[in-house]
Amino acid sequence: MASTVPFSPAKVQMLQATNCHGHAPFGSSFAVPRTGPKQRSLAVRVSSEQEAAAAVRAPSGRSIEECEADAVAGKFPAPAAFVRPKAPDGTPEIRPLDMPKRPRRNRRSPALRAAFQETTISPANLVLPLFIHEGEEDAPIGAMPGCFRLGWQHGLLDEVYKARDVGVNSFVLFPKVPDALKSPTGIEAYNDNGLVPRTIRLLKDKFPDIIVYTDVALDPYSSDGHDGIVREDGVILNDETVYQLCKQAVSQARAGADVVSPSDMMDGRVGAIRSALDAEGFNDVSIMSYTAKYASSFYGPFREALDSNPRFGDKKTYQMNPANYREALLETAADEAEGADILLVKPGLPYLDIIRLLRDNSALPIAAYQKIIFAAAP
């Protein structure tokens, strides 16, 4: 937008003289002063506020010493009289409170509030879950309105394109594995040409700069629907499961995963996975541990999306008791000692106190996983 700034003729002449090519600046039109002894203000039209400010600040050609001499002599316009904004009629006249500390000082303008904001969140902080399957077309997830199992070659790429447009650059993969590939020991979990490794390679080829997280657990690959190997008496085997998880994490890292995320809640799995990754040369692959994963009915829609509901029993022998608070500190200490890079709480919203607990007791980044299902209004 053009602006009009008052100038004297002498100033207009000076501005024209300072142009190194002897022409008025491009996009500006200057009023040419009439000759004569009478000085008067003229209007200079400039094409922008920036040019107006530049015109005001144009150098006069005087030396630093001359400018300093003016400052010493006080040859500057007197400051405008301070006028305090008036309060509305009826405001009582009081003596200000004797308060050396007034927290509102740091809130008095948008710029100050932004400068001192303690907590910020942006799309860069978010990780988008991507549910994938072997089909070419997207398939709706009944328990999650508006969500789909994405065709790993088509809908998946479209979803990532859209997310990147709004600033989301981190994605976590959750597969729906065909029943024919499931087994009691979940061996499909570490098939280098399985659904997840193929998807990682595809994403890294199309979007090399995104961050790919993976889920490390056996339940999508288990014919029993549990996160670990099930003994004939129903006991979930811990150490044998960890052995399988290590092979799964290495397979994912080999495909190009940036962060592997053990969600199984087996004891000792973080340290074992760290050792397995390092032994294979994947020292730079991070581990985001599901540190405080509570047994919860919130997981129902998620399990439908992956077709990973347990075929019998529940997961309470390895997922945490929802009534336990201090136990999260035990899991935090173990995961930190074993080499976790990120700690995660799941579900997020019902356990805000646990998120705060981990934040107060660990210097590691704290993540939270919350499934939010949006239903369209009628």
For β-strands 366-368 and 3-7, DSSP reports them as unpaired
Min mean pLDDT across 141-145, 259-263, 270-274, 276-280 is at 141-145
Confidence at 307, pLDDT banded by 50, 70, 90: confident
Structure-block tokens of residue 215: 């889920």
Q: Strand pairing partners for 294?
A: 320
Confidence at 10, pLDDT banded by 50, 70, 90: very low
Q: Is-contact 130 174, C-beta < 8 A? A: yes
**Residue 20: its pLDDT value, please?**
40
Dist. CA 325–CA 307, nearest whole Å: 30
SS3 state at 236: strand
CATH classification (class only), 123-368: alpha beta
Confidence at 298, pLDDT banded by 50, 70, 90: confident
Burial class (CB in 10 A: 0-12, 13-18, 19+), 187: middle
- When pLDDT is averaged across residues 87-107 and rounded to a whole number, the result is 94
The domains of the chain are located at 1-32+43-60, 123-368
Residue 2 has pLDDT above 90, yes or no: no
Phi, psi of 53 (to 5 degrees): -65, -40
**Residue 58: its pLDDT value, please?**
58
Question: Would you name the residues annotated as active-site residues?
Answer: 293, 346
Residue 109 has pLDDT above 50, yes or no: yes
Residue 26 has pLDDT above 50, yes or no: no
Average pLDDT, the chain: 84
Residue 132 has pLDDT above 70, yes or no: yes
Higher per-residue pLDDT: 209 or 55: 209
**Residue 163: its pLDDT value, please?**
96
Residue 37 has pLDDT above 60, yes or no: no
Residue 354 has pLDDT above 90, yes or no: yes
The gap between the terminal CA atoms of the chain, to the nearest Å, is 45
- When pLDDT is averaged across residues 282-299 and rounded to a whole number, the result is 93
